[in-house]
């Protein structure tokens, strides 16, 4: 693929780029079977994880990915730094750039921050989630997981259920799947699903509509109460209205559909306990594939080249 410095959004990638990263992720996953689960591709390179929002999972996944490529990983701990005291992102980046980092992995609650950082420094910037905007590495691991399960994504149907409005996962994952030829639909309450005119994605209203539509994959989004300033839905309703209940799980099993979730799962909210043990529940595959996808992303970015975003 063409030299690329940053990965901020799925939009900025060509179809060829998407396929290259997915193909290389397959090769990366093969490394996990070796007795030495490490390759020297990024030996001597430094990777910084800069998370302004807590996320143990995504951060660890990137750190493991970087370690398996032999890069050195530095964790910028924000709780003890001045970042939380209102220091501007630009000043933080100036500080970090004097540390000569090659890759910076950023998560921030504001949409658009990684793009600002990418413009401001030579390091490769990977967006690990910005506000409600984008989460491209999650999109790759989701696409990779579906491709691994079904062979080809084109023609598959995926319904994404839950808080679409605030979800960067919904945005990035629906985008990559549509680019790869899948049909995507959103399902959720009106307060959490923007109109089709804005999203370009069809909206389903009930579980019955989902079962009639016959998706291959049901993708549940995490209910993120901490992000929401005033309630968008009555909390006690959620599982009955939008979650995978035991009764729905039986119908899912009967139709052989797969279940995905970006994690961490709120048991009893998005998924009933039994759903986690369902054979076509791909949540653990997603975690493992996350490392492979992130290795592929790290490998394909080249620090110091021109930004495409």
Partner 1 sequence: MTNTYITNATWAITGQRIDLCLCPAAENISTLSLNEIPLPDIKQVEPAGQMEIPEQARVIDAAGKLLMPALYDLHTHIEIPGRSKRECIMRAGEAAIHGGVWGMLVLPSPSFCFDNGATLDSFREAATVRSVADMTPAGCISLGMQGLDQAPYNTLATMRGVRILSDGENFPSNILMLYRAMQYAEDLDLIFAVRADVPALTEHTYAHPSTTAYNLGLHPCPPCAEEIGTETLIRLAEAAGARLHLQLVSTAESVRIIRRAKERGVRVTAEVALHHLLFTHTQIGDYNTVFKTTPPLRDQTDCDALLEGVKDGTVDCIVSAHTPCSPFSKKQDFISAPAGMVMLDTMLPVLYTKLVKPGLLSWTELIRACCLKPVEIANPREQDEDTPRTAPLLLFDPQVSNIVTEETLACGTLNTPFLGQELHGVVTLPLR
Partner 2 sequence: MPQLTSTDISAALEQWADRIAARSDDEPLGLVGLISHGDELARRLTTALQKRGVQAQYGAIDITLYRDDLDLRKERPALRSSYLPFSTDGMHLILVDDVLQSGRTARAALETIFEYGRPARVELHCLVDRGRHELPIRADYAAFTLESAEKVHVHLKETDGEDAVLY
| Complex with partner 1: residue 8 or 292, whichever CB lies closer | 8
For residue 112, give Cα distances in angstroms to 117, 156, 251: 9, 31, 40
Beginning with the edge strand found earlier in the chain, give each strand of the sheet holding 72-76 in spatial order: 72-76, 46-51, 103-108, 124-130
Query: Which residue in 20, 74, 110, 225 binds partner 1 (CB under 8 A)?
Result: 110
200 binds, among partner 1, partner 2, none (CB under 5 to 8 A by kind): partner 1
Structure tokens at 189: 């309450």
Q: Which is nearer to partner 2, 46 or 245 (CB)?
A: 46
Q: Which of the choices partner 1, partner 2, none does residue 36 contact, using the CB cut-off of 5 to 8 A by kind?
A: partner 2
- Tell me: does residue 116 bind partner 1 (CB under 8 A): yes
Q: Which does 90 bind (CB under 5 to 8 A by kind): partner 2, partner 1, none?
A: partner 1
Q: Residue 309 binds what, of partner 2, partner 1, none (CB under 5 to 8 Å, by partner type)?
A: partner 1
From residue 206, alpha-carbon distances to 10, 192, 210, 250 in Å are: 29, 14, 7, 17
Q: Which of 95, 111, 122, 305 binds partner 2 (CB under 8 A)?
A: 305
Site string for partner 1, 214-253 (x = CB under 8 A): ---------------x------------------------
Binding-residue pattern over the window 28 to 67 for partner 2, x denoting contact by CB under 8 A:
x-xx--xxx-xxxx--------------------------
Would you say 24 or 174 has its CB closer to partner 2? Answer: 24
Question: Could you say which residues in the range 153-212 bind partner 1, by CB under 8 A?
Answer: 168, 171, 194, 197-200
Q: How far is the CB of 293 from partner 1 (least distance, A)?
A: 21
User: How far is residue 126's CA from residue 167's CA, in Å, rounded to a whole number?
Assistant: 18
Q: What angle, 0 to 180 degrees and rounded to 10, lies between the N-to-C axes of helices 15-31 and 168-179?
A: 100
- Alpha helices of the chain — where are they, by DSSP H? 15-31, 56-68, 89-97, 113-120, 136-150, 168-179, 196-199, 207-213, 238-242, 246-255, 273-277, 283-300
107 near partner 1, rule: CB under 8 A:
no
Tell the smallest beta-carbon distance from residue 293 to partner 2 (Å): 13
- Binds 111, which of partner 1, partner 2, none (CB < 5 to 8 A, cut-off by type)? partner 1
Q: How far is the CB of 228 from partner 1 (least distance, A)?
A: 11
Q: Give min distance, CB of 191 to partner 1, in A.
A: 12
CA–CA separation, 163 and 186 (whole Å): 9
**Among 26, 112, 248, 287, which residue sits at the site for partner 1 (rule: CB under 8 A)?**
112
Residue 172, Cβ density class (10 Å: 0-12 exposed, 13-18 middle, ≥19 buried):
buried
Q: Are 192 and 165 in contact (CB under 8 A)?
A: yes
CA distance 111 to 132: 6
CB of 227 or CB of 248, closer to partner 1: 227
H or E element at residue 160: strand 157-161
Helix (H) or strand (E) holding 130: strand 124-130
Q: Where do contacts with partner 2 occur on this chain (CB under 8 A)?
A: 1-3, 20, 23-24, 26-28, 30-31, 34-36, 38-41, 69, 296, 299-300, 302, 305
């Amino acid at each position: 693929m063409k030299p690329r410095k940053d990965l901020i959004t799925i939009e900025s990638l060509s179809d060829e780029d998407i396929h290259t990263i997915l193909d290389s992720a397959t090769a990366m996953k093969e490394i996990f079977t070796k007795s030495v689960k490490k390759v020297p591709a990024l030996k001597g390179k430094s990777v910084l994880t800069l998370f302004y929002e807590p996320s143990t999972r995504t951060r660890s996944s990137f750190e493991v990915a970087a370690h398996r490529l032999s890069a050195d990983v530095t964790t910028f701990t924000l709780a003890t730094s001045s970042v939380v005291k209102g220091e501007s992102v630009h000043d933080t980046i100036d500080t970090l750039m004097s540390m000569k980092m090659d890759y910076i992995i950023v998560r921030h609650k504001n949409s658009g921050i990684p793009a600002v950082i990418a413009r401001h420094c030579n390091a490769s910037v990977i967006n690990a989630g910005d506000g409600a905007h984008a989460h491209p590495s999650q999109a790759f691991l989701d696409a990779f997981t579906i491709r691994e399960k079904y062979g080809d994504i084109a023609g598959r149907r995926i319904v994404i259920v839950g808080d679409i409005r605030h979800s960067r996962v919904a945005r990035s994952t629906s985008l990559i799947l549509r680019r790869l030829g899948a049909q995507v639909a959103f399902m959720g309450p009106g307060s959490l699903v923007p109109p089709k005119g804005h999203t370009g994605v069809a909206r389903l209203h009930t579980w019955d509509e989902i079962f009639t539509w016959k998706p291959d994959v049901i993708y549940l989004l995490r209910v993120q109460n901490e992000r929401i300033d005033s309630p968008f839905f009555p909390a006690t309703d959620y599982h009955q209205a939008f979650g995978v209940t035991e009764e729905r799980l039986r119908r899912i099993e009967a139709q052989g559909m797969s279940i995905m979730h970006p994690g961490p799962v709120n048991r009893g909210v998005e998924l009933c306990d039994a759903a986690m043990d369902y054979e076509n529940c791909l949540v653990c595959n997603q975690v493992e594939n996350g490392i492979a996808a992130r290795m592929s992303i790290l490998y394909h970015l080249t620090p110091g080249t021109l930004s495409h975003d």
